[in-house]
């Protein structure tokens, strides 16, 4: 008879603990994300389609389930459950909220529930910073950065860029909300990351004056439609996925984190595929860039479109769990698993 296996303890890790583990460790988080991308490219992950819960009475809102599994030294399964309610912003609270469930690799038992809006923002920003670093390797390092959309994700991307060695001569800002643009400008000025900060009056003005453009909006349909705005061949971090028209996408070199995930749910790339009837405009993945199989040209705009893989959340979440455990600060819920005898 096999020996019984003890179920893992179950812990709750609140946002304050997540923040303490990750803040100031941006380079380490970027390295975690690179490792996760490499494991994904090598086939050491499972990342099935995300599932969207939508509401007929609240069409702008959604809750998304991202199940995933990652191998290598991480060895954890889990689920990210993240909501996006844009109307929250007007009420003075962030648009997105999330939890991350980690499941033990050997027993399948859930071992932790983590506040995950911070994890989600950190892995998104780390992915963008990694892409900016690797995709700019063959071109002059961008000195003019523009942020199109100035919410929490934009702030995290800026933080990760600056704390992984980026410095800018000029920083541009554009947002439909004047209040949001002003708030982001104050934040950016306080970091000393740019010699000049400009709030632009139009999207075209921002894009034409930036060598690195970060799209971090809540747009549901494309609103940037003129490829000529990108004629100076900038590097574009298309974090929000639905800002660019098919015409803009088709005029650029396109790099994604995962082809199947990026070309669905009416993302800009999905719309381009529907128009063209093929995926030939997708030139490769970030994994291809990391391995040297793809070297983006310098004579075209380069657009990085990351759908945001659940394996990235697992990699960061497992790191947070292990660091909290090692520090002796894990909040274990005693007796969480109660009925443990098969026959009573």
Residue 47 maps to which CATH number?
A: 3.30.1780.10
Confidence of residue 3 (pLDDT cuts 50, 70, 90): low
Q: Is 76 helix (H, G, I), strand (E, B) or coil?
A: strand
State whether 34 and 130 are in the same domain. no
Residue 325's pLDDT is what? 97
| Span 330-342, pLDDT tens digits | 999 998 988 777 7
H or E element, residue 31: helix 26-41
Q: Is 141 a residue whose pLDDT tops 80?
A: yes
Cα 268 from Cα 261, distance rounded (Å): 12
DSSP string covering 124-171? HHHHHHHHHHHHTTTSPPP-EEEEES-SHHHHHHHHHHHHTT--EEEE
Is 332 part of a structural domain of the chain? Answer: no
Residue 90's pLDDT is what? 86
Q: Give me the domain span that covers residue 104.
A: 11-119+310-326
State whether 163 and 221 are in the same domain. yes
Cα 129 from Cα 210, distance rounded (Å): 16
Is 334 part of a structural domain of the chain? Answer: no
Is 6 part of a structural domain of the chain? Answer: no
Is 2 part of a structural domain of the chain? Answer: no
State whether 163 and 289 are in the same domain. yes
State whether 215 and 271 are in the same domain. yes
Residue 341's pLDDT is what? 78
State whether 138 and 283 are in the same domain. yes
| Span 259-315, pLDDT tens digits | 999 999 899 999 999 999 999 999 999 999 999 999 999 999 999 999 989 999 999
State whether 92 and 175 are in the same domain. no
pTM for this structure?
A: 0.94
CA distances from 301 to 230, 231, 235, 283 (A): 6, 7, 6, 12
Q: Is 1 a residue whose pLDDT tops 50?
A: no
Is 1 part of a structural domain of the chain? Answer: no
Residue 209 maps to which CATH number?
A: 3.40.50.720
Q: Is 2 a residue whose pLDDT tops 80?
A: no
State whether 150 and 81 are in the same domain. no
Q: Is 176 a residue whose pLDDT tops 90?
A: yes
State whether 197 and 314 are in the same domain. no
Is 68 part of a structural domain of the chain? Answer: yes
Place of tokens 């995709």: 135
Rounded mean pLDDT, 4-18: 87
Rounded mean pLDDT, 175-190: 95
State whether 171 and 300 are in the same domain. yes
Rounded mean pLDDT, 86-96: 88
Q: What backbone phi and psi angles, to 5 degrees, belong to 124?
A: -65, -45
Question: What total number of domains does the chain contain?
Answer: 2
Q: What backbone phi and psi angles, to 5 degrees, belong to 100?
A: -125, 125
State whether 259 and 288 are in the same domain. yes
State whether 52 and 97 are in the same domain. yes
User: What mean pLDDT value characterizes the chain?
Assistant: 95
332: β partners: 11
Select from 302, 125, 89 the least CA-distant residue to 216: 125
Is 175 part of a structural domain of the chain? Answer: yes
Residue 4's pLDDT is what? 56
Is 333 part of a structural domain of the chain? Answer: no
State whether 196 and 241 are in the same domain. yes
């Amino acid at each position: 008879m096999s020996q019984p296996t003890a179920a893992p303890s179950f812990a709750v890790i609140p946002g304050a603990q997540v923040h303490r583990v990750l803040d100031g460790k941006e380079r380490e988080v970027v390295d975690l994300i690179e490792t996760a991308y490499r494991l994904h490219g090598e086939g050491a992950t499972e990342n099935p389609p995300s599932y969207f819960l939508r509401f007929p009475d609240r069409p702008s809102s959604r809750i998304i389930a991202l199940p995933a599994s990652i191998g290598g030294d991480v060895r954890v399964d889990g689920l990210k459950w993240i909501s996006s309610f844009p109307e929250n912003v007007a009420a003075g609270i962030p648009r997105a909220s999330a939890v991350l469930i980690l499941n033990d690799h050997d027993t399948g038992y859930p071992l932790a529930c983590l506040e995950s809006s911070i994890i989600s923002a950190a892995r998104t920003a780390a992915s963008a910073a990694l892409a900016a670093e690797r995709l700019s390797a063959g071109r002059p390092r961008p000195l003019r950065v523009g942020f199109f959309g100035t919410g929490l994700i934009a702030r995290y991307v800026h933080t990760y860029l600056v704390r992984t060695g980026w410095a800018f001569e000029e920083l541009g800002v554009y947002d439909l909300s004047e209040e949001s643009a002003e708030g982001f400008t104050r934040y950016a000025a306080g970091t000393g990351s740019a010699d000049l900060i400009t709030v632009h009056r139009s999207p075209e003005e921002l894009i034409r004056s930036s060598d690195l453009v970060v799209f971090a909006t809540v747009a549901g349909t494309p609103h940037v439609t003129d490829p000529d705005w990108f004629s100076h061949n900038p590097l574009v971090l298309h974090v929000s996925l639905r800002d660019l028209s098919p015409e803009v996408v088709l005029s650029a070199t396109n790099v994604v984190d995962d082809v199947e995930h990026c070309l669905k749910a009416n993302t800009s790339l999905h719309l381009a595929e529907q128009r063209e009837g093929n995926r030939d405009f997708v030139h490769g993945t970030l994994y291809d860039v990391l391995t040297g199989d793809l070297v983006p040209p310098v004579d075209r705009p380069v657009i990085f479109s990351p759908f945001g893989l659940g394996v990235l959340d697992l990699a960061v979440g497992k790191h947070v769990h292990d660091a909290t455990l090692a520090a002796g600060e894990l909040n274990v819920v005693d007796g969480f698993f109660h009925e443990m005898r098969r026959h009573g």
